[in-house]
């Protein structure tokens, strides 16, 4: 018994035995049990479980015909759409590995996601295909994509949809414009419709719990993003556990607006919903009016989100017209929920907002608040089947309750290691009490009831509206600008986003007076994902450095923090 077991949901065991099958089987079983039940809803268009399975099987057969074999990595870059779910499960059905990529990435960033996992096939939407093609074309011939499958958003819904299901007016051009497909140097571009019309044979699936299923990328303190090797078993565990924790069942209706390319949306929402045969109401981006209408229209019962979405929805001038009475569970992570907002949710709707915590390496939750007894601004308690401790980051010895140290995690949801990075993998794990623990890099403490709280980060990271921004990655991209001699990226307080990105820049002598701070901001927005791009740039003559020549980023961060306080 650990202290947190006193507050464990009484209906649940402390640990579970997940199914010893592949993730594909969860979808296949739903198609047998609930063939006509809605699996997805997208702007009023309903896809049943049997239709979803058939589409995924046809796409899987097409992938195999294009040469995708067991264990191959297939790049998937889509917004929240039925196509993403079809493609994700098609890749799994082909016994291949999903490489989920943020649709906000630009060509310069995308090169790494093609070359590092050795991807030869990618699936994307027409508005994003140009960036992927440009990234591929810029690579040496041997590393380029061989095939690009491209969907139009209108492949998935009726453009004439009216009423509460209709897309916002300002999205109509984005969603309904049929875009021309790019050329792919040395490769072929295929339409989504043609791929799904394929009638060729589909080989039997042979993967099991120990085989790789997804390779999501996570950035860190140094260098380029690293692929996290997750098996069918590690994802399955948290899909099942998330479903049970949130009282998921076949009559659940979940609002899917947190992005499914991200580990939380992928595992805690999509895979969890598929495991429990819940209906997924999809939103490709956040829009508070649409969210309010969809919750009301489809009687949504569960909603995983980031706190800024709740704050935004509550601020809607139409809020009183939304019917939120169907909601049974609500929670999320990525940033702390303000206490006043959580209190309003509980007083008005009887909803306790349950925060959770996890990393790409832990397949989303390693900690979650008990739905019946959550604490605010708290990571929660160790998740099902999970052992979490707080250790001294230097000695790796466990610390007493109340003391601050590094949060470490052991459990079946923890990844197998970093793709092609044995040294990084070795550095991320250590043994304690005969168990293999993963070092999160986050500093925290445990209270007397076994609840975990985060206090600081060992890793250098900025949290912008729940998106993790790693300064080293942004700096590496900024150095491609001809005017930049040096750059140091830090965070600054932002009332809405929590934190935003700032770059402190030293210009090359040849460019001083030739470019402005705003020029750098605009270049960054053109060359990297919007959430990573600095919103503020400050020119300085020199960056503070240590005796060994390292940039003292903490000095700049502390100076920025003191300005924010005053």
pLDDT value for 458? 63
User: H or E stretch including 476?
Assistant: helix 471-478
Query: Where do the domains of the chain lie, and which CATH numbers do they carry?
Result: 49-207 (3.40.50.980), 462-565 (3.30.300.30)
Q: What average pLDDT score do residues 373-385 get?
A: 94
Q: Does pLDDT of 223 surpass 90?
A: no
Q: Which two tokens stand for residue 484?
A: 């930049």
- H helix runs in 22-81, sequence order: 23-33, 49-65
Residues 323 and 303: their CA atoms lie apart, in Å, by 14
Q: What average pLDDT score do residues 342-347 get?
A: 89
DSSP 3-state assignment of 191?
Answer: strand
Q: Which runs of E-coded beta strand occur in 228-314?
A: 230-231, 253-256, 279-282, 302-305
Residues 191 and 196: their CA atoms lie apart, in Å, by 9
Q: Does pLDDT of 239 surpass 70?
A: yes
Q: Does pLDDT of 297 surpass 80?
A: yes
pLDDT value for 566? 41
| Under 8 Å between Cβ of 536 and 520 | no
Q: Which residues touch 530 (CB under 8 Å, ≥6 apart)?
A: 104
* Percent of the residues in the chain that have a pLDDT greater than 90, as a whole number: 81
Residues 77 and 62: their CA atoms lie apart, in Å, by 18
CA-based diameter of the chain, in Å? 69
Q: Quickly tell me which residue has 């140091």 as its tokens.
A: 488
Residues in the chain: 566
Q: Which two tokens stand for residue 177?
A: 């414009």
Q: Does pLDDT of 104 surpass 90?
A: yes
Q: How far is CA 222 from CA 416, 468, 474, 475, 484, in A?
A: 20, 14, 11, 10, 19
Q: What average pLDDT score do residues 473-495 get?
A: 89
| Under 8 Å between Cβ of 354 and 370 | yes
DSSP H helix total and E strand total for the chain: 17, 28
Q: What average pLDDT score do residues 205-222 get?
A: 91
Higher pLDDT, 350 or 59: 59
Residues 356 and 353: their CA atoms lie apart, in Å, by 10
Residues 543 and 550: their CA atoms lie apart, in Å, by 10
pLDDT value for 341? 86
pLDDT value for 462? 87
pLDDT value for 456? 67
CA 468 to chain centre: 10
Q: Does pLDDT of 466 surpass 90?
A: no
DSSP 3-state assignment of 219?
Answer: coil
Higher pLDDT, 519 or 307: 519
Q: Does pLDDT of 334 surpass 80?
A: no
Question: What count of other Cβ atoms lies within 10 Å of the Cβ of residue 184?
Answer: 21
Q: Which two tokens stand for residue 129?
A: 């295909």
Pairing mode, strands 353-359 and 364-368: antiparallel
Give the pLDDT confidence of 423-463 residue by residue, as tens digits.
999 999 999 999 999 999 999 999 999 999 987 666 778 88
Q: What angle do CA 339, 342, 346 make, to 5 degrees?
A: 135
Q: Does pLDDT of 399 surpass 50?
A: yes
Q: Does pLDDT of 201 surpass 80?
A: yes
Q: Does pLDDT of 222 surpass 80?
A: no
Q: Which two tokens stand for residue 322?
A: 């939304």
By C-alpha distance, which of 110, 118, 122, 125 is closest to 184?
Answer: 122
Q: Does pLDDT of 482 surpass 50?
A: yes
Q: What average pLDDT score do residues 210-234 get?
A: 91
Averaged confidence pLDDT in the chain: 94
Q: What is the DSSP string of 65-85?
A: HTT--TT-EEEEE--SSHHHH
Q: Which residues touch 199 (CB under 8 Å, ≥6 apart)?
A: 58, 61
Give the pLDDT confidence of 11-24 residue by residue, as tens digits.
999 999 999 999 99
Q: Quickly tell me which residue has 């996601």 as its tokens.
A: 113
Q: Does pLDDT of 563 surpass 80?
A: no
Higher pLDDT, 284 or 376: 284
Question: How would you write 354-369 as a 3-class SS string?
Answer: EEEEEEHHHCEEEEEC
Q: What angle do CA 146, 151, 152 make, to 5 degrees?
A: 145
Give the pLDDT confidence of 109-167 residue by residue, as tens digits.
999 999 999 999 999 999 999 999 999 999 999 999 999 999 999 999 999 999 999 99
Q: Quickly tell me which residue has 């306790």 as its tokens.
A: 352
DSSP 3-state assignment of 97?
Answer: strand
Q: What average pLDDT score do residues 292-313 get?
A: 94
pLDDT value for 182? 97
Q: What average pLDDT score do residues 32-53 get?
A: 98
| Under 8 Å between Cβ of 430 and 475 | no
Q: What is the DSSP string of 401-450?
A: TT--EEEEEESTTS-S-BTT-HHHHHHHEEEETTEEEEEEEEEEEE-TTS
| Under 8 Å between Cβ of 122 and 96 | no
Which burial class, exposed, middle or buried, applies to 185 when counting CB atoms under 10 A from its CB (0-12, 13-18, 19+)?
A: middle
Q: How far is CA 36 from CA 39, 45, 435, 521, in A?
A: 9, 14, 45, 50
| Under 8 Å between Cβ of 192 and 63 | no
């Amino acid at each position: 018994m650990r202290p947190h077991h006193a507050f464990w949901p009484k209906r649940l065991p402390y640990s579970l035995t997940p199914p010893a099958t592949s993730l594909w089987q969860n979808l296949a079983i739903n198609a047998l049990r609930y063939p006509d039940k809605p699996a997805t809803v997208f702007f009023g268009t309903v896809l049943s479980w049997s239709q979803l399975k058939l589409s995924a099987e046809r796409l899987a057969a097409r992938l195999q015909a294009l040469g995708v074999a067991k264990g191959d990595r297939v790049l998937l870059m889509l917004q929240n759409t039925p196509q993403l779910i079809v493609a994700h499960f098609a890749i799994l059905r082909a016994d291949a590995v999903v490489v989920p990529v943020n649709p906000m990435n630009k060509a310069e960033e995308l090169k790494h996601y093609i070359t590092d996992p050795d991807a030869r096939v990618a699936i994307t939407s027409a508005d994003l295909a140009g960036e992927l093609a440009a990234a591929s074309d810029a690579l040496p011939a041997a590393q380029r994509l061989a095939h690009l499958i491209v969907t139009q958003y209108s492949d998935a819904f009726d453009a004439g949809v009216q009423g509460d299901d209709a897309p916002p007016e300002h999205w109509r051009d984005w969603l309904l414009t049929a875009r021309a497909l790019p050329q792919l140097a040395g490769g072929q571009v295929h339409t989504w419709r043609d791929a799904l019309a394929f009638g060729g044979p589909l080989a039997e699936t042979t993967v099991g719990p120990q085989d790789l299923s997804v390779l999501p990328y996570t950035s860190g303190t140094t260098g380029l993003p690293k692929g996290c090797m997750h098996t069918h078993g590690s994802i399955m565990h948290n899909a099942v556990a998330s479903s049970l924790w949130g009282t998921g069942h076949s009559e659940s209706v979940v609002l899917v607006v947190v992005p499914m390319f991200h580990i939380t949306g992928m595992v805690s929402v999509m895979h969890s919903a598929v495991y429990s045969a819940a209906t997924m109401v999809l939103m490709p981006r956040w829009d508070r009016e649409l969210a309010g209408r969809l919750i009301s229209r489809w009687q949504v019962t569960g909603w995983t989100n980031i706190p800024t979405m709740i704050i935004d929805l509550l601020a809607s001038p139409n809020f009183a017209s939304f019917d939120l009475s169907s909601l049974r569970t609500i929670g999320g992570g990525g940033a702390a929920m303000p206490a006043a907002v959580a209190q309003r949710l509980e007083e008005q709707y009887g909803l306790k907002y349950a925060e959770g915590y996890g990393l790409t390496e832990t397949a989303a939750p390693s900690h979650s608040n008990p739905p019946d007894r959550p604490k605010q601004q708290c990571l929660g308690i160790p998740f099902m089947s999970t052992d979490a401790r707080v250790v001294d980051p230097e000695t790796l010895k466990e610390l007493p309750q109340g003391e601050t140290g590094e949060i470490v995690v052991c459990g079946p949801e923890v990844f197998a290691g970093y793709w092609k990075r044995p040294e990084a993998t070795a550095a991320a794990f250590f043994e304690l009490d005969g168990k293999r623990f993963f070092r999160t890099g986050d500093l925290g403490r445990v209270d007397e009831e076994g609840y975990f709280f985060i206090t600081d980060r060992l890793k250098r990271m900025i949290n912008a509206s729940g998106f993790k921004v790693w300064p080293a990655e942004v700096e590496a991209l900024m150095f491609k600008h001809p005017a930049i001699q040096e750059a140091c990226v830090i965070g600054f307080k932002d009332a809405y986003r929590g934190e935003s990105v700032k770059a402190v820049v030293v210009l090359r002598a040849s460019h001083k007076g030739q470019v402005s701070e705003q020029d750098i901001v605009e270049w960054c927005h053109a060359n990297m994902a919007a959430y990573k791009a600095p919103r503020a740039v400050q020119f300085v003559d020199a960056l503070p450095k240590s005796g060994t020549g390292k940039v003292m980023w903490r000095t700049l961060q502390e100076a920025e923090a003191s300005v924010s306080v005053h």
